[in-house]
Structure 1
Amino acid sequence: MSNTIIHKADTRGHANHGWLDSHHTFSFARYYNPERMGFGLLRVINDDIVAGGMGFGAHPHDNMEIISIPLSGSLEHQDSTGNREVIRTNDVQIMSAGFGLTHSEYNHSKSEEVNFLQIWVFPKLKDIPPRYEQKTFKPDDRQNKLQVVVSPEKDGEAVWINQDAWFSLGTLKSGFSEEYKIHKLGNGVYAFVIDGEVEIDGNKLSKRDGLGISEAESFRVEASTDAELLLMEVPMK
Protein backbone atom coordinates (compact mmCIF):
# COMPACT_ATOMS: atom_id res chain seq x y z
CA MET A 1 0.00 0.00 0.00
CA SER A 2 1.50 3.33 -1.04
CA ASN A 3 1.84 6.37 1.20
CA THR A 4 0.77 9.77 -0.08
CA ILE A 5 1.04 13.30 1.24
CA ILE A 6 -0.60 16.33 -0.38
CA HIS A 7 0.57 19.94 -0.12
CA LYS A 8 -1.97 22.36 -1.60
CA ALA A 9 -0.61 25.48 -3.28
CA ASP A 10 -2.11 27.84 -0.72
CA THR A 11 -0.38 26.04 2.19
CA ARG A 12 3.12 26.88 0.93
CA GLY A 13 5.36 29.32 2.73
CA HIS A 14 5.45 32.78 1.13
CA ALA A 15 7.98 35.60 1.18
CA ASN A 16 7.67 38.80 -0.85
CA HIS A 17 10.79 40.97 -0.77
CA GLY A 18 9.65 43.28 -3.55
CA TRP A 19 12.31 42.19 -6.03
CA LEU A 20 11.67 38.53 -5.13
CA ASP A 21 8.27 36.85 -4.71
CA SER A 22 8.86 33.30 -3.54
CA HIS A 23 6.65 30.37 -2.52
CA HIS A 24 8.25 27.53 -0.55
CA THR A 25 6.84 24.02 -0.71
CA PHE A 26 9.20 23.03 2.12
CA SER A 27 10.76 24.94 5.04
CA PHE A 28 13.17 27.55 3.75
CA ALA A 29 14.73 30.76 5.11
CA ARG A 30 12.19 32.39 7.47
CA TYR A 31 9.47 29.85 6.63
CA TYR A 32 9.76 26.96 9.07
CA ASN A 33 7.30 24.11 9.41
CA PRO A 34 8.64 20.99 11.17
CA GLU A 35 6.22 18.86 9.13
CA ARG A 36 7.51 20.33 5.86
CA MET A 37 11.25 19.62 5.93
CA GLY A 38 11.33 17.91 2.54
CA PHE A 39 10.34 14.64 0.93
CA GLY A 40 12.98 11.93 1.22
CA LEU A 41 16.20 13.46 -0.08
CA LEU A 42 14.29 16.26 -1.84
CA ARG A 43 14.88 19.27 0.42
CA VAL A 44 13.70 22.45 -1.36
CA ILE A 45 11.16 23.44 -4.02
CA ASN A 46 11.03 27.22 -4.37
CA ASP A 47 8.74 28.86 -6.91
CA ASP A 48 10.58 32.16 -7.47
CA ILE A 49 9.58 35.28 -9.39
CA VAL A 50 12.43 37.78 -9.73
CA ALA A 51 11.93 41.36 -10.95
CA GLY A 52 13.80 42.71 -13.98
CA GLY A 53 17.49 43.40 -13.35
CA MET A 54 17.38 41.85 -9.87
CA GLY A 55 18.64 38.59 -8.44
CA PHE A 56 20.63 36.63 -5.90
CA GLY A 57 24.16 37.97 -5.31
CA ALA A 58 27.17 35.67 -4.92
CA HIS A 59 26.63 33.20 -2.07
CA PRO A 60 28.13 29.83 -1.09
CA HIS A 61 26.82 26.25 -1.23
CA ASP A 62 28.30 22.85 -0.55
CA ASN A 63 27.14 19.25 -0.78
CA MET A 64 23.82 19.95 -2.46
CA GLU A 65 22.43 19.22 -5.93
CA ILE A 66 20.71 22.42 -7.09
CA ILE A 67 18.38 22.31 -10.11
CA SER A 68 16.89 25.40 -11.78
CA ILE A 69 14.01 25.16 -14.25
CA PRO A 70 12.88 28.47 -15.83
CA LEU A 71 9.13 28.58 -16.46
CA SER A 72 9.18 32.02 -18.10
CA GLY A 73 11.95 34.51 -18.78
CA SER A 74 15.71 33.98 -18.55
CA LEU A 75 18.17 33.62 -15.70
CA GLU A 76 21.84 34.63 -15.76
CA HIS A 77 24.21 32.33 -13.87
CA GLN A 78 27.78 32.95 -12.75
CA ASP A 79 29.90 30.85 -10.40
CA SER A 80 33.36 30.58 -8.86
CA THR A 81 34.38 27.74 -11.19
CA GLY A 82 34.25 30.11 -14.19
CA ASN A 83 30.81 29.31 -15.59
CA ARG A 84 28.75 32.19 -16.95
CA GLU A 85 25.57 31.13 -18.70
CA VAL A 86 22.03 32.24 -19.50
CA ILE A 87 19.28 29.74 -18.71
CA ARG A 88 16.07 30.09 -20.71
CA THR A 89 12.65 28.46 -20.88
CA ASN A 90 13.07 24.81 -21.98
CA ASP A 91 16.52 24.71 -20.33
CA VAL A 92 17.32 22.74 -17.18
CA GLN A 93 20.37 23.67 -15.11
CA ILE A 94 22.07 21.60 -12.45
CA MET A 95 24.87 22.57 -10.13
CA SER A 96 26.61 19.99 -7.98
CA ALA A 97 27.98 22.20 -5.23
CA GLY A 98 30.32 19.43 -4.09
CA PHE A 99 33.03 20.53 -1.65
CA GLY A 100 31.98 24.15 -2.15
CA LEU A 101 31.49 27.02 -4.57
CA THR A 102 29.87 30.44 -4.78
CA HIS A 103 27.36 31.48 -7.41
CA SER A 104 24.93 34.23 -8.35
CA GLU A 105 21.64 34.09 -10.25
CA TYR A 106 20.17 37.24 -11.81
CA ASN A 107 17.24 38.01 -14.04
CA HIS A 108 18.78 38.31 -17.50
CA SER A 109 16.15 40.90 -18.48
CA LYS A 110 16.16 44.44 -17.10
CA SER A 111 12.41 44.85 -17.61
CA GLU A 112 10.57 41.51 -17.54
CA GLU A 113 10.14 39.09 -14.63
CA VAL A 114 11.67 35.63 -14.60
CA ASN A 115 9.80 32.75 -12.95
CA PHE A 116 11.81 29.64 -12.15
CA LEU A 117 11.76 26.60 -9.91
CA GLN A 118 14.75 26.21 -7.61
CA ILE A 119 15.06 22.63 -6.33
CA TRP A 120 17.58 21.16 -3.89
CA VAL A 121 18.39 17.45 -3.50
CA PHE A 122 20.87 15.98 -1.02
CA PRO A 123 23.80 14.35 -2.90
CA LYS A 124 24.76 10.69 -3.09
CA LEU A 125 28.50 11.32 -2.82
CA LYS A 126 29.79 14.15 -0.63
CA ASP A 127 32.71 16.50 -1.26
CA ILE A 128 33.00 15.81 -4.99
CA PRO A 129 34.49 18.54 -7.22
CA PRO A 130 31.86 21.21 -7.99
CA ARG A 131 30.16 20.69 -11.34
CA TYR A 132 27.82 22.64 -13.62
CA GLU A 133 25.64 21.51 -16.52
CA GLN A 134 22.67 22.80 -18.49
CA LYS A 135 20.78 21.43 -21.45
CA THR A 136 17.97 22.59 -23.71
CA PHE A 137 15.06 20.17 -24.09
CA LYS A 138 12.70 20.15 -27.05
CA PRO A 139 9.11 20.94 -25.99
CA ASP A 140 7.84 18.49 -28.63
CA ASP A 141 9.53 15.65 -26.72
CA ARG A 142 7.20 16.13 -23.74
CA GLN A 143 3.92 16.61 -25.61
CA ASN A 144 1.63 14.04 -24.01
CA LYS A 145 4.60 12.17 -22.59
CA LEU A 146 6.95 12.36 -19.62
CA GLN A 147 10.35 13.64 -20.73
CA VAL A 148 13.28 12.73 -18.44
CA VAL A 149 15.34 15.90 -17.88
CA VAL A 150 17.43 14.87 -14.83
CA SER A 151 18.93 11.42 -14.26
CA PRO A 152 21.92 9.65 -12.66
CA GLU A 153 23.09 8.43 -16.08
CA LYS A 154 26.19 10.46 -16.92
CA ASP A 155 26.05 9.88 -20.68
CA GLY A 156 22.29 10.14 -21.10
CA GLU A 157 20.19 12.83 -22.74
CA ALA A 158 19.24 14.38 -19.39
CA VAL A 159 21.43 16.49 -17.12
CA TRP A 160 23.37 14.33 -14.68
CA ILE A 161 22.66 14.40 -10.94
CA ASN A 162 24.88 13.05 -8.17
CA GLN A 163 21.99 11.03 -6.76
CA ASP A 164 19.72 8.13 -7.72
CA ALA A 165 17.08 10.60 -8.87
CA TRP A 166 15.03 11.12 -12.01
CA PHE A 167 13.05 14.27 -12.92
CA SER A 168 10.45 14.24 -15.69
CA LEU A 169 8.50 17.07 -17.33
CA GLY A 170 5.22 16.59 -19.20
CA THR A 171 3.02 18.90 -21.28
CA LEU A 172 -0.16 16.86 -21.10
CA LYS A 173 -3.42 17.11 -22.99
CA SER A 174 -6.72 16.67 -21.19
CA GLY A 175 -7.44 12.95 -21.04
CA PHE A 176 -3.79 11.86 -20.96
CA SER A 177 -3.28 8.74 -18.85
CA GLU A 178 -0.05 6.85 -18.18
CA GLU A 179 1.42 4.60 -15.54
CA TYR A 180 4.65 5.89 -14.02
CA LYS A 181 7.03 3.11 -12.95
CA ILE A 182 9.56 3.77 -10.20
CA HIS A 183 13.13 3.58 -11.54
CA LYS A 184 14.71 2.34 -8.30
CA LEU A 185 13.07 0.32 -5.54
CA GLY A 186 12.67 2.40 -2.39
CA ASN A 187 12.45 5.70 -4.24
CA GLY A 188 9.45 8.00 -3.88
CA VAL A 189 8.07 10.59 -6.30
CA TYR A 190 7.07 14.16 -5.57
CA ALA A 191 4.70 15.55 -8.20
CA PHE A 192 4.44 19.32 -8.69
CA VAL A 193 1.70 20.70 -10.92
CA ILE A 194 3.10 23.65 -12.84
CA ASP A 195 -0.23 24.39 -14.51
CA GLY A 196 -3.63 22.82 -15.06
CA GLU A 197 -5.22 19.94 -13.18
CA VAL A 198 -4.08 16.35 -12.85
CA GLU A 199 -5.08 13.25 -10.91
CA ILE A 200 -2.41 11.02 -9.40
CA ASP A 201 -3.41 7.72 -7.88
CA GLY A 202 -6.93 9.10 -7.52
CA ASN A 203 -5.83 12.38 -5.87
CA LYS A 204 -6.98 15.56 -7.61
CA LEU A 205 -4.33 18.27 -7.92
CA SER A 206 -4.43 21.82 -9.27
CA LYS A 207 -1.88 24.44 -10.28
CA ARG A 208 1.14 24.55 -7.91
CA ASP A 209 -0.18 21.71 -5.74
CA GLY A 210 2.29 19.03 -4.72
CA LEU A 211 1.90 15.35 -3.91
CA GLY A 212 4.46 12.91 -2.54
CA ILE A 213 4.00 9.18 -3.10
CA SER A 214 6.23 6.53 -1.55
CA GLU A 215 6.29 2.77 -0.99
CA ALA A 216 4.89 2.26 -4.48
CA GLU A 217 6.29 0.48 -7.53
CA SER A 218 4.09 2.49 -9.90
CA PHE A 219 1.16 4.90 -10.01
CA ARG A 220 -1.16 6.41 -12.60
CA VAL A 221 -0.98 9.99 -13.87
CA GLU A 222 -4.09 11.43 -15.53
CA ALA A 223 -4.62 14.93 -16.91
CA SER A 224 -8.05 16.36 -16.03
CA THR A 225 -7.29 19.45 -18.16
CA ASP A 226 -4.36 20.48 -20.32
CA ALA A 227 -1.53 20.50 -17.78
CA GLU A 228 2.19 21.00 -17.14
CA LEU A 229 3.64 18.51 -14.65
CA LEU A 230 7.01 17.94 -12.98
CA LEU A 231 7.75 14.57 -11.37
CA MET A 232 10.78 14.30 -9.05
CA GLU A 233 11.79 10.74 -8.13
CA VAL A 234 14.25 10.63 -5.22
CA PRO A 235 15.52 8.16 -2.63
CA MET A 236 13.47 8.31 0.56
CA LYS A 237 16.55 7.80 2.79
Structure 2
Amino acid sequence: MITVRHSDQRGLANFGWLNSKHSFSFGHYYDPQHMGFSVLRVINDDIVTVGAGFNTHGHKDMEIISYVLEGAIEHKDSEGNVHILSAGEFQIMSAGSGIYHSEYNVSPTEHLKFLQIWIKPNSLGNKPSYAQKDFGKQQGLTTIATPTGEDGTLLIKQDTKLHQLILKPDSKLSIDIATNRKIYLHQINGTLSVDDVELNAGDGAKIDNIRTLNLANRGQEKVTALIFDLP
Protein backbone atom coordinates (compact mmCIF):
# COMPACT_ATOMS: atom_id res chain seq x y z
CA MET A 1 0.00 0.00 0.00
CA ILE A 2 1.24 3.49 -0.89
CA THR A 3 -0.12 6.41 1.16
CA VAL A 4 0.81 9.83 -0.20
CA ARG A 5 0.89 13.11 1.68
CA HIS A 6 1.28 16.00 -0.73
CA SER A 7 3.56 18.94 -0.02
CA ASP A 8 0.71 21.42 0.48
CA GLN A 9 -0.81 19.18 3.16
CA ARG A 10 2.21 19.48 5.47
CA GLY A 11 2.28 21.58 8.61
CA LEU A 12 3.62 25.12 8.30
CA ALA A 13 5.77 27.29 10.55
CA ASN A 14 7.02 30.78 9.68
CA PHE A 15 9.02 32.76 12.25
CA GLY A 16 10.43 35.33 9.83
CA TRP A 17 13.99 34.01 9.99
CA LEU A 18 12.75 30.42 9.47
CA ASN A 19 10.14 29.14 7.04
CA SER A 20 9.49 25.44 7.54
CA LYS A 21 7.21 22.69 6.27
CA HIS A 22 6.69 19.71 8.58
CA SER A 23 5.94 16.25 7.20
CA PHE A 24 5.13 15.09 10.75
CA SER A 25 4.00 16.78 13.97
CA PHE A 26 6.70 19.10 15.27
CA GLY A 27 6.90 22.13 17.56
CA HIS A 28 3.69 24.17 17.37
CA TYR A 29 2.28 21.92 14.65
CA TYR A 30 0.40 18.91 16.00
CA ASP A 31 -1.62 16.37 14.05
CA PRO A 32 -2.29 13.00 15.72
CA GLN A 33 -2.63 11.43 12.26
CA HIS A 34 0.96 12.39 11.42
CA MET A 35 3.24 11.52 14.32
CA GLY A 36 5.92 9.79 12.26
CA PHE A 37 6.28 6.50 10.42
CA SER A 38 7.96 3.50 12.04
CA VAL A 39 11.10 4.97 13.71
CA LEU A 40 11.11 8.02 11.41
CA ARG A 41 9.90 10.89 13.58
CA VAL A 42 10.67 14.20 11.81
CA ILE A 43 11.22 15.55 8.30
CA ASN A 44 11.34 19.34 8.28
CA ASP A 45 11.89 21.25 5.04
CA ASP A 46 13.66 24.36 6.39
CA ILE A 47 14.56 27.68 4.76
CA VAL A 48 16.74 29.96 6.93
CA THR A 49 17.37 33.62 6.06
CA VAL A 50 20.78 35.28 5.83
CA GLY A 51 22.63 35.54 9.15
CA ALA A 52 20.00 33.54 11.04
CA GLY A 53 19.88 30.08 12.55
CA PHE A 54 19.10 27.84 15.47
CA ASN A 55 20.66 29.08 18.71
CA THR A 56 22.39 26.59 21.01
CA HIS A 57 19.88 24.03 22.24
CA GLY A 58 19.91 20.46 23.47
CA HIS A 59 18.87 17.02 22.23
CA LYS A 60 18.91 13.58 23.77
CA ASP A 61 18.47 10.04 22.40
CA MET A 62 17.76 10.95 18.79
CA GLU A 63 19.57 10.37 15.48
CA ILE A 64 19.49 13.73 13.70
CA ILE A 65 20.32 13.95 9.99
CA SER A 66 20.69 17.16 8.01
CA TYR A 67 20.88 17.30 4.22
CA VAL A 68 21.80 20.67 2.72
CA LEU A 69 19.94 21.49 -0.50
CA GLU A 70 21.09 25.10 -0.97
CA GLY A 71 23.60 27.27 0.88
CA ALA A 72 25.71 26.13 3.82
CA ILE A 73 25.35 25.41 7.55
CA GLU A 74 27.79 26.36 10.29
CA HIS A 75 27.58 23.62 12.94
CA LYS A 76 28.93 23.84 16.49
CA ASP A 77 28.28 21.41 19.33
CA SER A 78 29.23 20.65 22.93
CA GLU A 79 31.49 17.78 21.82
CA GLY A 80 33.84 20.31 20.24
CA ASN A 81 32.77 19.81 16.65
CA VAL A 82 32.88 22.97 14.51
CA HIS A 83 32.15 22.36 10.83
CA ILE A 84 30.75 23.92 7.67
CA LEU A 85 28.19 21.76 5.86
CA SER A 86 27.81 22.70 2.19
CA ALA A 87 25.10 21.99 -0.38
CA GLY A 88 25.01 18.29 -1.21
CA GLU A 89 26.44 17.16 2.13
CA PHE A 90 24.78 14.93 4.71
CA GLN A 91 25.37 15.30 8.44
CA ILE A 92 24.42 12.87 11.20
CA MET A 93 24.50 13.78 14.87
CA SER A 94 23.76 11.05 17.39
CA ALA A 95 22.48 12.97 20.40
CA GLY A 96 22.83 9.96 22.69
CA SER A 97 23.09 10.81 26.39
CA GLY A 98 22.85 14.52 25.56
CA ILE A 99 24.38 17.12 23.28
CA TYR A 100 24.03 20.88 22.72
CA HIS A 101 24.46 22.38 19.27
CA SER A 102 23.76 25.39 17.07
CA GLU A 103 23.13 25.56 13.32
CA TYR A 104 23.48 28.83 11.36
CA ASN A 105 23.23 30.02 7.80
CA VAL A 106 26.89 30.78 7.10
CA SER A 107 26.26 32.78 3.91
CA PRO A 108 26.07 36.60 4.10
CA THR A 109 24.02 36.79 0.90
CA GLU A 110 22.07 33.55 0.29
CA HIS A 111 19.34 31.70 2.13
CA LEU A 112 19.93 28.22 3.51
CA LYS A 113 17.65 25.36 2.53
CA PHE A 114 18.01 21.96 4.18
CA LEU A 115 16.12 18.91 5.36
CA GLN A 116 16.13 18.18 9.09
CA ILE A 117 15.42 14.51 9.82
CA TRP A 118 14.98 12.78 13.17
CA ILE A 119 15.08 9.01 13.64
CA LYS A 120 14.52 7.27 16.98
CA PRO A 121 17.59 5.22 18.06
CA ASN A 122 17.39 1.54 19.01
CA SER A 123 19.33 2.10 22.25
CA LEU A 124 19.45 4.94 24.75
CA GLY A 125 22.20 6.79 26.57
CA ASN A 126 24.90 6.31 23.92
CA LYS A 127 27.95 8.55 23.68
CA PRO A 128 27.14 11.46 21.34
CA SER A 129 28.82 11.41 17.94
CA TYR A 130 29.03 13.46 14.74
CA ALA A 131 29.89 12.81 11.08
CA GLN A 132 29.34 14.44 7.68
CA LYS A 133 29.96 13.43 4.07
CA ASP A 134 29.20 14.36 0.48
CA PHE A 135 28.07 11.25 -1.41
CA GLY A 136 27.97 12.92 -4.83
CA LYS A 137 25.18 12.89 -7.39
CA GLN A 138 25.44 9.48 -9.00
CA GLN A 139 22.57 8.13 -11.06
CA GLY A 140 20.51 5.50 -9.27
CA LEU A 141 20.50 4.57 -5.60
CA THR A 142 23.32 5.68 -3.27
CA THR A 143 23.31 4.40 0.31
CA ILE A 144 23.89 7.24 2.78
CA ALA A 145 23.44 5.74 6.26
CA THR A 146 23.43 2.19 7.65
CA PRO A 147 23.40 0.59 11.13
CA THR A 148 26.96 -0.73 10.54
CA GLY A 149 28.57 2.21 8.75
CA GLU A 150 29.61 -0.22 6.01
CA ASP A 151 31.21 0.87 2.72
CA GLY A 152 31.82 4.41 3.90
CA THR A 153 28.22 5.13 4.86
CA LEU A 154 27.26 7.22 7.87
CA LEU A 155 26.60 5.15 11.00
CA ILE A 156 23.08 5.34 12.39
CA LYS A 157 22.06 3.72 15.68
CA GLN A 158 18.91 2.10 14.33
CA ASP A 159 17.91 -0.80 12.07
CA THR A 160 17.44 1.69 9.25
CA LYS A 161 19.06 2.55 5.94
CA LEU A 162 18.87 5.89 4.15
CA HIS A 163 19.34 6.05 0.38
CA GLN A 164 19.64 8.93 -2.06
CA LEU A 165 17.75 8.37 -5.31
CA ILE A 166 18.71 10.23 -8.48
CA LEU A 167 17.04 9.48 -11.80
CA LYS A 168 17.76 11.34 -15.01
CA PRO A 169 14.85 11.92 -17.43
CA ASP A 170 13.49 8.80 -19.13
CA SER A 171 15.04 6.37 -16.65
CA LYS A 172 13.67 3.85 -14.19
CA LEU A 173 14.69 1.64 -11.28
CA SER A 174 13.13 -1.24 -9.35
CA ILE A 175 13.77 -1.86 -5.65
CA ASP A 176 13.10 -5.13 -3.83
CA ILE A 177 11.74 -4.66 -0.30
CA ALA A 178 12.43 -7.29 2.36
CA THR A 179 9.56 -8.91 4.24
CA ASN A 180 8.26 -6.87 7.20
CA ARG A 181 10.13 -3.72 6.11
CA LYS A 182 8.54 -0.33 5.54
CA ILE A 183 9.66 2.36 3.11
CA TYR A 184 9.25 6.11 3.37
CA LEU A 185 10.01 8.20 0.30
CA HIS A 186 10.55 11.96 0.47
CA GLN A 187 10.55 13.72 -2.90
CA ILE A 188 13.05 16.59 -3.22
CA ASN A 189 12.72 17.68 -6.84
CA GLY A 190 11.31 16.51 -10.15
CA THR A 191 8.32 14.25 -10.71
CA LEU A 192 8.68 10.60 -9.74
CA SER A 193 6.33 7.77 -10.65
CA VAL A 194 6.11 5.20 -7.84
CA ASP A 195 4.23 2.26 -9.32
CA ASP A 196 1.03 4.06 -10.41
CA VAL A 197 1.46 7.02 -8.03
CA GLU A 198 3.03 10.35 -9.02
CA LEU A 199 5.10 12.36 -6.52
CA ASN A 200 6.26 15.96 -6.84
CA ALA A 201 8.67 18.10 -4.82
CA GLY A 202 7.87 18.01 -1.11
CA ASP A 203 5.52 15.02 -1.35
CA GLY A 204 6.00 12.05 0.95
CA ALA A 205 4.88 8.43 0.58
CA LYS A 206 4.43 5.75 3.23
CA ILE A 207 4.97 2.35 1.60
CA ASP A 208 3.97 -0.87 3.34
CA ASN A 209 3.24 -4.47 2.32
CA ILE A 210 4.88 -4.09 -1.10
CA ARG A 211 7.72 -6.40 -2.18
CA THR A 212 8.92 -4.57 -5.31
CA LEU A 213 8.84 -0.83 -5.88
CA ASN A 214 8.97 0.41 -9.47
CA LEU A 215 10.34 3.94 -9.81
CA ALA A 216 10.42 5.98 -13.03
CA ASN A 217 11.28 9.49 -14.16
CA ARG A 218 9.05 10.24 -17.14
CA GLY A 219 9.58 14.01 -16.97
CA GLN A 220 12.21 16.39 -18.33
CA GLU A 221 13.79 17.30 -14.97
CA LYS A 222 16.22 15.23 -12.92
CA VAL A 223 14.56 13.49 -9.97
CA THR A 224 16.09 13.56 -6.48
CA ALA A 225 14.50 11.80 -3.52
CA LEU A 226 15.37 10.21 -0.17
CA ILE A 227 14.33 6.63 0.55
CA PHE A 228 14.18 5.34 4.12
CA ASP A 229 14.25 1.56 4.70
CA LEU A 230 12.59 1.15 8.11
CA PRO A 231 11.76 -1.67 10.54
TM-score bucket (shorter structure): over 0.9
* Match 2:225 to one of 201, 222, 229: 229
Question: 1:153: Cα distance to partner?
Answer: 2.1
SS at match of 2:152: coil
Give the residue type in structure 1 aligned to 2:184.
Y
2:192 aligns with 198
Once residues 109 and 223 of structure 1 are traced to their aligned partners in structure 2, the CA distance between those partners, rounded to angstroms, is 33
Question: 1:181: Cα distance to partner?
Answer: 2.1
Once residues 165 and 210 of structure 1 are traced to their aligned partners in structure 2, the CA distance between those partners, rounded to angstroms, is 18
Give the TM-score normalised by the residue count of structure 1. Answer: 0.93
Moved more, 223-232 or 62-71: 223-232
1:159 aligns with 154
Once residues 103 and 187 of structure 1 are traced to their aligned partners in structure 2, the CA distance between those partners, rounded to angstroms, is 33
Give the residue type in structure 2 aligned to 1:165.
T
Once residues 225 and 154 of structure 2 are traced to their aligned partners in structure 1, the CA distance between those partners, rounded to angstroms, is 18
Question: 1:34: Cα distance to partner?
Answer: 0.6
Once residues 210 and 124 of structure 2 are traced to their aligned partners in structure 1, the CA distance between those partners, rounded to angstroms, is 28
SS at match of 2:214: strand
Alignment of 1:1-237 (within 5 A): 3-139=1-137, 142-143=138-139, 145-182=140-177, 185-225=179-219, 226=221, 227-235=223-231
Once residues 156 and 76 of structure 1 are traced to their aligned partners in structure 2, the CA distance between those partners, rounded to angstroms, is 27
**Count of aligned pairs between the two proteins:** 229
For structure 2, the 5+ residue unaligned runs are none
Once residues 220 and 155 of structure 1 are traced to their aligned partners in structure 2, the CA distance between those partners, rounded to angstroms, is 26
> Percent identity over the alignment?
39
Question: 1:151: Cα distance to partner?
Answer: 1.3
For structure 1, the 5+ residue unaligned runs are none
Once residues 212 and 55 of structure 2 are traced to their aligned partners in structure 1, the CA distance between those partners, rounded to angstroms, is 41
Question: 1:155: Cα distance to partner?
Answer: 3.8
**Aligned-residue RMSD, C-alpha:** 1.2
Give deviations 1:199-227, integer Å, cap 9, x for gaps: 11211111111101012333111112231
Moved over 3 A (4+): none
Aligned CA distance change for structure 1 residues 164 and 185 (closer, same or farther; 3 Å): farther
Give the residue type in structure 2 aligned to 1:115.
K
Give the TM-score normalised by the residue count of structure 2. Answer: 0.95
Once residues 131 and 160 of structure 2 are traced to their aligned partners in structure 1, the CA distance between those partners, rounded to angstroms, is 16
Once residues 195 and 64 of structure 2 are traced to their aligned partners in structure 1, the CA distance between those partners, rounded to angstroms, is 28
Question: 1:90: Cα distance to partner?
Answer: 1.8
